[in-house]
Amino acid sequence: GQAVRQAGLAARTAGQAVGRFLSDVNDRFRQPRDAEFPAQPAMTADDVPIELQELRSSDKPGVYVVIGSAARVRTGPALNSPQCALLERGESLGVSEIRGRRGRLSWPVQGWVSLRTTDGEPILQALQVPLSTTL
């Protein structure tokens, strides 16, 4: 009962996000008819709503290891959230949730970290160990 309602709500929320996103894409790429309506800037990956980032992500929660030089841990998912820790290369960590290229840490500290850079370079590498087996 409740799980079905929650799934329906999640699908409806994602559907609304898709609608808003497509409307924004249409607005940005519509050709202006005269100088009164300047062209909109091109869309970037940062313009993609979190709900849609989750839909396209193939990353899964689990155990990861830092393979970049270091991984900044922030208090929230936004890149401008305050930094609360720095994980060194080779450290392992538990990722309990994925939002786009960001992961929520459950250990060794709580916070959010990027799985890869904006250029797509990996910062973390998933290990083949499900998170549930480590708890």
Tell me the pLDDT of the chain (135 aa) as tens digits. 666 666 556 556 666 666 666 666 566 555 555 555 555 555 555 555 555 544 444 578 889 999 999 999 999 999 999 999 999 999 999 999 999 899 999 999 999 999 999 888 899 998 865 555 544
* Secondary structure string (H, E, C) spanning 81-93: CCEEEEEECCCEE
For 104, the token pair is 């929520």
- Indicate the residue type of 117: T
User: What's this model's pTM, rounded to 2 decimal places?
Assistant: 0.55
- Residue 74 DSSP SS3: strand
